[in-house]
Amino acid sequence: MGLAHRSFAARACLAMAFFGATTMSAGAAGRPPPRASALGVFQGESDIGNVVPAGSAHYDAARNLYTIASAGANTWYHVDHFNYLWTRASGDLAITARISFPPHRYNHDPNPHRKGLLMFRQSLAPGSAYADAALHGVGLTALQYRRERGANTPDIELTISAPQTLRLEKRGDTFTLFVAQAGEPLHQVGASVQVHLRAPFYVGLGALSHDPQTTDVVEFSHVAITALKPQPPNANRVLYSTLQTIEFTDQYRRAVVIRSTPGYMQSADWAPDGKSILVWEEGRIERIPYLDPDGGGPAQPIDTRGLVGCSGNFGLSPDGKVLAVSCSSKPGEPHQVYLLPAAGGGAPRQLTRGAAASFFHAWSPDGKTVAFTRGSASRADIFTIPAAGGSETRLTTDTVDDGPVCSPDGQ
């Protein structure tokens, strides 16, 4: 594996459109801001790793279109085989583009996982740390990243197919993916990671065919690299929560965004049949259908029939028919454990009746016993109670006990 590097002589001066003085001044970076080159706003073009024949890049100023032709096996696992159109940079930046795959001119089908990339990268060496937004030829979109040199590449995949516009933002060590379909504004989609890149780093466009024997062409339009202004201390911020599934082996870690939404979401709990996931979201318990291939359907709020203040302490029985919740019957009253039909809507059956708040935590494997805690943040103990109702059994009398679960044998 090797590195081929081609730089281009500068011509027009367009640097101020893309580097803010606060991040890319001569004093901050130790050199004057780069000027526009024969490759538009980029300074150079390189084959990263093994790309045979050598890749190439072209900028059509009349159409403001960047075209990269490249073979290359992949940018995944510990492999880096792609062509990269880059500029050196520092500070907080965003790179935005529309990626398209023009009709191929070879006599076989394209690899569905040929890629166009928007990439921040520590160096031009294979195996370098990086973060990128990757659009596959089949429409799959992902945020890929490598936190240290030589490590395998994990990713966070979206269930949004072939977005029209991609944007990757770097703020400090945080990289966040934004996308937009035609007619909608750019918006975050639940893909964000922490990767540390020392300044100066590289930012640019990449392409690969996912087939070492084939050279593919990827086009990038509406390309912009912009400096991001620091967030004011009193800026209004929006909390986003994301539900992901994570598949992992010794070779890779693959996450898929199932749901991303403004607000606070917690306590994800698989239904026993694996066809849905329950979450607590802004005071509601919701069921998210789990789709195949990976994806999430519209959230379905569960009707708790007048119970209020329900917490994230809930769970389905092992047979998936009964939902245990921790709610109050009226505002201001302590939480108790109630049982409902799994789909909601039925009359709640109160299970606990203590003077202090009680919170569900676990079902026994046979579904006949419920474990819960009672008390406050400074003092709580663990109890069990028959799911059919009856006398409680106190298991601890200590200081703060929380989060009980049952062993697989229920003992």
Tokens of 229: 């202004």
Burial string for 55-86 (b: 16+ CB within 10 Å, else e) reads bbbbbeeeeebbbbbbbbbbbbeebbbbbbbb
Q: What are phi and psi of 23, to 5 degrees?
A: -115, -25
Residue 323 three-state SS: strand
Please give the pLDDT value at position 15: 20
Residue 321 three-state SS: coil
Amino acid identity of residue 122, one-letter, is Q
**pTM score, two decimals?**
0.83
User: 245: exposed, middle or buried (C-beta count within 10 Å: 0-12, 13-18, 19+)?
Assistant: middle
Q: For the chain, percent helix, then strand, then coil, each to nearest 5? A: 5, 50, 50
Please give the pLDDT value at position 19: 22
List Cβ neighbours of 245 (8 Å cut-off, separation of 6 or more): 255, 256, 258, 290, 294
Helix (H) / strand (E) containing 29 = helix 26-29
Q: Residue 27, Cα to own-chain centre: how many angstroms?
A: 35
Ranges of residues in the chain with a pLDDT under 50 are 1-36
Q: How far apart are alpha carbons 356 and 334 in whole angstroms?
A: 6
Please give the pLDDT value at position 37: 59
Given a contact cutoff of 8 angstroms between Cβ atoms, the answer to whether 362 and 382 are in contact is no
Domains along the sequence of the chain with CATH: 3-227 (2.60.120.200), 304-411 (2.120.10.30)
Please give the pLDDT value at position 56: 97
Given a contact cutoff of 8 angstroms between Cβ atoms, the answer to whether 134 and 141 are in contact is yes
